Amino acid sequence: MQRMLGVILAALMVLAAPLAAWATNGMNMIGTGAVSSGMGGADVAVPAGCTAIAGNPAQLATTCNRVVSVGGAFLNPQMEVTMPGQGGVDNEFQLFPLPFAGYAQRIGTSRWSVGVGVFAQGGMGVDFQNVKNFGGADDSLYSQVAFMRLAPTLAYNVTDKLTLGATVFAGYASIDYDFFPNGMQGQHVTGLSSFTIAGRLGANYQINDQWAVGATYTTESSLDFDGGEMRFNFGPGMGQVTYRDAKMDAFTWPRQVEVGVSFKPSPKWLLAFDISWVNWASAIKTVTVTASNPGTPVPAGYETLSVPFIMDWKDQLVFALGAQYEINDMWTVRAGYNYGQNPVPDNTLNPLFPAIVEHHLTAGFTFTYQDWDFDFALEHGFTNDQTNSGAPSPTNPFSGTEVSHYQDTMHIMVSYRF
Amino acid sequence: MAFMLLLALLLLAPAPAAPAADAGPAWLGYAQAARLGRQDRRPIMLFFSAPWCYLCKKMRRLVFSDPELAGRLSEKAYAVAVDITREPRLGEVWAVKQVPTTIFLDPQGKPALRLTGYQNRSTLGRALDFVAGGHHRRTTWEAFSARP
């Protein structure tokens, strides 16, 4: 069963390739879907359709009959890395498609709603070409972390005011990276993948016609990457050796707690505010890549290589504020602001995994025509600069390196009710 | 640029006013509307909803609250709001399989038009004309609603 789900998700990832997201609350997207993203990701206590599958599952219970949604986002990161003694190097142009497809329905006029969807949870990636390696030669830094989830979801109206929901996440993740592959001890790693299961519980309480509160809890997803291959550069003499079995341990998608409130000051206005706690400190500590089964003979002691990435990310608080105004029964406009503390410590900053953007501003709209909704949102992540302040050491090779990053994302979605 | 335009739209939107009860037509009870409908030879509009139904609330907010439509509804028909969780028997009688569902009855109490799902002001206004004007006896809703 796990294998079959893994194959399905892997196929979806191939169809959506290149899928790697430069996600922005750490490695998470600030919101899924143009409605949530248009409100800065403030969606815990806001009615949703299919996108509740990726947000608060309790909001699936606002589905009135059947709805299918298809869409996604296009993300364009802009980064620069400046290593000590070098000029800044810009990231190659990247435009990542982040798909979403979902279906939700109420079971008759009962209190139960069900749905299923597949979506990009997040990820990250860089592509720095023509950057000098530690030996001074032209080289590259490249990474691509992609995480996709298939999410069957159930919601139940316990009372007219209280709704509960639950989602099972079947996730599939992949990682590739190049760490100065042309230089001494350089690595070219491909094909690491992992299947994982997690879950999310959600609740929404409609206090009155104006106020609602919501909360979610998401379990962590332990990702045991394997099935990869590493080409390791021993430098002059031994040259490059391909290790046919590579795996990565201790890379985890974090647990998360979210609480949110929504308020309708007038019939046409909706304001929403969420606070999230993301437990990166438990999820991303020291990630170790282990390579074995070399394709050519190697000296004793080199049959297995172990490469640690000391990351020690910090827990993250995310604040999301959104507003929505219904102009009439066809047009709705939205705006939002999202701040997520940078989870990457100064002393372990690694340009391969710099998820450092903090401030986001968003705006969007929905155009409703008969049974169709057309959602659109734009998201801008403002520039954040960070410098590795740790002492140089074999486990902190990027001491003194500065990374600068901003990004723009466009979200679109089409929903049909029937 | 588009981003700034959208932000400006939001900022220029009317400031939130003090919350007000949803305006709308005069909602009557089912029995009262049935009696008045027969007596005054007016159609009845049954609006089936549920507390969890987001689109039902949206119709209340954006469609029934429209003064022009609400005025026409109050003038030409009797409106009944049915919460299927509180009046499940009415939902069964009228075979309501989803909400929102809007059913227009002619003055004799016979179903003249059934609309399922979210309806905008324009569609609901035409539906009222269709039934109140007696067009449902001469043509189909599809043909009537397709007229310019």
pLDDT (tens place) for every residue of chain A, 418 residues total: 455 545 444 444 444 444 444 457 888 889 989 999 999 999 999 998 889 999 999 999 988 889 999 999 999 999 999 999 888 999 998 888 899 999 999 998 899 999 999 998 888 889 999 899 998 899 999 999 889 999 999 999 999 899 999 999 999 999 999 999 999 999 999 999 999 999 999 999 999 989 999 999 999 999 999 999 999 999 888 899 999 999 999 889 999 999 999 999 998 999 999 999 999 999 999 999 999 999 999 989 999 999 999 999 999 999 999 999 999 889 999 999 999 999 999 999 999 988 899 999 999 999 998 889 999 999 999 999 999 999 999 889 999 999 999 999 999 999 999 8
Tokens 């429209």 sit at which residue? B66
CA A205/CA A208 separation, integer angstroms = 9
Confidence class for position B22, pLDDT limits 50, 70, 90: low
Whether A203 and chain B come into contact, CB under 8 Å, resolves to no
Per-domain residue ranges for chain A? 2-417
Query: Tens digit of pLDDT for each residue in B28-53?
Result: 999 999 999 999 999 999 999 999 89
CA A50/CA A45 separation, integer angstroms = 15
This prediction has a pTM of 0.86
pLDDT at A299: 87
**At residue B76, what are phi and psi to the nearest 5 degrees?**
-105, -10
pLDDT at B9: 47
pLDDT at A54: 93
| In contact, A75 and A380? CB cutoff 8 Å | no
pLDDT at A3: 52
Fold of A2-417: Porin (2.40.160)
Set of chain B residues whose Cβ sits within 8 Å of the Cβ of A268: 14, 61-62
Give the residue ranges of DSSP H helices in A270-402.
280-283
pLDDT at A17: 43
B→A interface, C-beta within 8 Å? 2-3, 6-7, 9-10, 13-14, 16-20, 22, 50-56, 58, 61-63, 65, 84-85, 91, 96-100, 116-118, 120-121, 123
Q: B5 versus B57: which is more confidently predicted? A: B57
Task: List residues bridging with A387 in a β-sheet.
Answer: A402
The answer to whether A64 contacts B17, with C-beta atoms less than 8 Å apart, is no
CA A93/CA A277 separation, integer angstroms = 32
Set of chain B residues whose Cβ sits within 8 Å of the Cβ of A380: 3
Q: Are strands B78-83 and B44-49 parallel, antiparallel or unpaired?
A: parallel
Compute the average pLDDT of residues B88-100: 93
Task: Annotate B58-74 with b (16+ C-beta within 10 A) or e (fewer).
Answer: bbbbbbbbbeebbebbe
Both structure tokens of B86: 């509180």
Both structure tokens of A144: 């691509």
Chain A to chain B, count of Cβ pairs less than 8 Å apart? 104
The answer to whether A269 contacts B117, with C-beta atoms less than 8 Å apart, is no
Encode A376-404 in three state secondary structure.
EEEEEEEEEEEECCCCCECCECCCCCEEE
Query: What domains are there in chain B, each with its CATH number?
Result: 23-146 (3.40.30.10)
For residue B7, is pLDDT > 50? no
pLDDT at A26: 81
The answer to whether A65 contacts B7, with C-beta atoms less than 8 Å apart, is no
Peptide bond into A97 cis (omega under 30): no
pLDDT at A12: 46
Nearest CB to A109; choose among B22, B84, B121: B84
